[in-house]
Structures are given as C-alpha cells and as structure tokens.
C-alpha cells in the first residue's frame, strides 16, 4: 500500500517521503507534496481517493474512474461542496464523510480500499457518469431556456423517456 498526499500550497515546503508501518508491521510508503500538476496521472493510478469535493475535482474523479471518500469543505460558498459530494454519492461514485466525523475516516477508508466488489461498482458508476457530454447538455439547456428546439432531438427524447 502507498499513500500520496497533496496537502495544498503553504502546507509543506517540498516533497517529503516517509516509510510508515501498519499495526501488523507492513510497510506503507508515504509521499507528501504541496502541489501536483499531474493530477490525471495520480488519480488514474489510485485505488481510492480522499478529497474535498469541488466541481473540478469531481469531474476529474469521474473522468479517471477513481472512487472517492469525499470530505466537503464546510466553509465553501453556499455549502456547494456538500451538494457536490452528496450528488456524487447518490450517483454511486463514492462516499461522503462530514468533516465533523473525521474520527471515522480511517475506518471508512480501510473498509473500502480492500472491498474489491464495491470499488468495482463505484468505477462502473463513474464510467456511466463520465458518458454525459457536458457541452451538448449545456447547449441543449441553453436552447431550452431560449425556447428553441434541442440541437440533437434524438438525445432530448432519450432524456425525456
């Protein structure tokens, strides 16, 4: 098992590597960095991610098919991260842990990371979530708001069904 932690700007001055051990003595290589500009690669090789729940992050998780435990930032404007996280959870992409309940985060992660069946189910759901063509959906929504017919009537009929 390996742990890769992107802590955010100002939290660390550079890359740090540590070797940690589980209670049973197994080695866990751990890497801590303040920033990563290769998130798609990092997410693509992860079995599970623990993250905040900004819209960009959720889009990256869906695109890379990476299940997540989301901890919404409680001070985000209009509590939008909580709304994002709960939508992600309802769609079957992962689970939400409220920041007030971080004591249970380790247990939640341990139960998930070794549950191959559930991780596979999350990945299947993420693949479904990533199928939506967001540009076409936005264009259709704008056309509907303007009272005009959809750009692709066949897709609009499928959505209505």
CATH of the domain at 48: 3.40.50.2000
Q: Are 115 and 56 within one domain?
A: yes
User: Which tokens sit at 34?
Assistant: 């303040």
Reply yes or no on whether the pLDDT at 154 is more than 90. no
Q: Are 105 and 124 within one domain?
A: yes
Phi, psi at 72, each rounded to 5°: -60, 140
* Interatomic CA distance for residues 46 and 68, integer angstroms: 10
Within a 10 A sphere around the Cβ of 51, how many other Cβ atoms?
19
Mean pLDDT value across residues 49-58: 96
User: Which tokens sit at 28?
Assistant: 């866990």
Reply yes or no on whether the pLDDT at 147 is more than 80. yes
**Residue whose entry in the numeric block shows the structure tokens 């259709």:** 140
Is 121 part of a structural domain of the chain? yes
CA-closest candidate to residue 99, choices 70, 77, 71: 71
Reply yes or no on whether the pLDDT at 134 is more than 80. no
Mean pLDDT value across residues 52-70: 95
Q: Are 44 and 118 within one domain?
A: yes
Domains in the chain: how many in total?
Answer: 2
Q: Are 148 and 113 within one domain?
A: no
Torsion angle (degrees, nearest 10) of CA 138, 143, 149, 153: -10
| pLDDT on residue 157 | 55
Q: Exposed (0-12), middle (13-18) or buried (19+): which is 98, by Cβ within 10 Å?
A: middle
pTM of the model: 0.78
For residue 70, the enclosing domain spans: 38-129
Q: Are 142 and 120 within one domain?
A: no
In the predicted model, what is the mean pLDDT of the chain?
89
Is 19 part of a structural domain of the chain? no
| pLDDT on residue 73 | 97
- Residue 159's pLDDT band (boundaries 50, 70, 90)? low
Q: Are 84 and 149 within one domain?
A: no
**Residue whose entry in the numeric block shows the structure tokens 């009272």:** 147
Q: Are 120 and 43 within one domain?
A: yes
Is 85 part of a structural domain of the chain? yes
Q: Are 85 and 54 within one domain?
A: yes
Q: Are 161 and 119 within one domain?
A: no
| pLDDT on residue 112 | 95
Q: Are 137 and 151 within one domain?
A: yes
Q: Strand 27-33 to strand 16-21: parallel, antiparallel, or no bridges (unpaired)?
A: antiparallel
Is 33 part of a structural domain of the chain? no
């Amino acid at each position: 098992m390996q742990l890769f932690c992107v802590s955010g700007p100002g939290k660390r001055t550079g890359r740090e590597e540590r070797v940690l051990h589980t209670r049973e003595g197994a080695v866990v290589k751990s890497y801590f960095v303040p920033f990563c500009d290769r998130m798609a690669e990092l997410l693509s090789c992860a079995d599970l991610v623990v993250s905040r729940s900004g819209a960009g992050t959720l889009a990256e998780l869906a695109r890379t098919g990476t299940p997540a435990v989301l901890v919404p930032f409680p001070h985000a404007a209009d509590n939008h991260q909580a709304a994002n996280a709960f939508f992600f959870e309802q769609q079957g992409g992962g689970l939400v842990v409220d920041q007030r309940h971080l004591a249970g985060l380790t247990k939640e992660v341990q139960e998930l990371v070794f549950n191959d069946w559930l991780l596979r189910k999350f990945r299947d759901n993420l693949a479904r979530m990533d199928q939506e063509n967001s540009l076409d959906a936005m264009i259709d929504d704008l056309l509907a708001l303007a009272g005009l017919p959809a750009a692709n009537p066949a897709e609009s009929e499928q959505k209505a069904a």
